[in-house]
Amino acid sequence: MLRPGNMYDAQFSNVCLGQFSRGPHGSDGPTTAGCGFAGLPEEQHNSGKRETARFARCISRFCNAVDDGGGIATGAGGRIWTPSWTIFSGGICFLFLAAFAWVIEVKGVKKWTFPLIVIGMNSIAAYCIAHLLEGFLEISLRIHLGANFFQFAGAGLEPFFRGATILLCYWLILLWMFRRKLFLKI
């Protein structure tokens, strides 16, 4: 049976975490001991950069283990919000978290994250803007650019380009707030 947890352990985690990719007994099964927590020396267990990636990897493997194949071999088809799909997609999300933590924290590649930092520093404002200005921006774009402006690539791609333009407008508002250090806080 195809097991995404084992495939991930064999491919990505050996590259990402080196010698810490296996448990203390060499197990590559999706267990807590296989996540590498139990056999680590104290100073390496408390290191922050690898800990984030290790935690995300552990959660991902747990989700794939509970799902028993992640729907790839067992068939998570049908309705999308089945328990099997929810657990599998949660595991995939934690794989992305582990990959981003490794790229940003371990490798130190941070320049590409600036657009996300702008949104994250003012996430309450982003939420409010998305719910309060959506209709206003859409109507304003239709009035000033024309009703068929976003059909330049075809009617099928019109929602994509309209949504991307609205997202860009939201981000520019958040960038303006970021540069002036205007942050909404609770």
User: Per-residue pLDDT for 19 more than 50?
Assistant: no
Strands annotated E in the chain = none
Domain count, the chain: 2
Examine the domain organization and report whether 98 and 63 are in the same domain: yes
* Residue ranges making up the domain that contains 117: 112-179
The answer to the question of residue 185 being in a domain is no
User: What would the pLDDT profile of 61-117 be if each residue is shown by its tens digit?
Assistant: 665 565 555 444 444 455 667 788 888 889 999 999 999 999 999 999 889 999 999
User: Per-residue pLDDT for 39 more than 60?
Assistant: no
Does the pTM of the predicted model rise above 0.75? no
- Collapse the DSSP code of 114 into the 3-class scheme (helix H, G, I; strand E, B; otherwise coil) and give the result: helix
Q: What's the CA gap between 181 and 38, in Å, rounded?
A: 44
Between residues 171 and 52, the one the model is more confident about: 171
Residue ending a domain, among 61, 93, 109, is: 109
What's residue 21's pLDDT?
42
Examine the domain organization and report whether 14 and 98 are in the same domain: yes
Residue ending a domain, among 53, 84, 109, is: 109
- Kindly provide the b/e burial profile for residues 150-180, where b requires at least 16 CB atoms within 10 angstroms of the residue's own CB: beeeeeeeeeeebeebbeebbbebbeebbee
H helix runs in 102-185, sequence order: 114-121, 123-132, 134-145, 158-179
Tokens of 158: 């019109």
Tokens of 133: 């200005």
Examine the domain organization and report whether 97 and 9 are in the same domain: yes
User: What would the pLDDT profile of 118-176 be if each residue is shown by its tens digit?
Assistant: 999 999 999 999 999 888 999 999 999 988 899 888 888 999 999 999 999 999 999 99
- Alpha-carbon distance values, 27 to 33, 39, 52, 99, 116 (Å): 8, 12, 21, 22, 37
Examine the domain organization and report whether 98 and 62 are in the same domain: yes
Contact present, 100 and 106 (Cβ < 8 Å): no
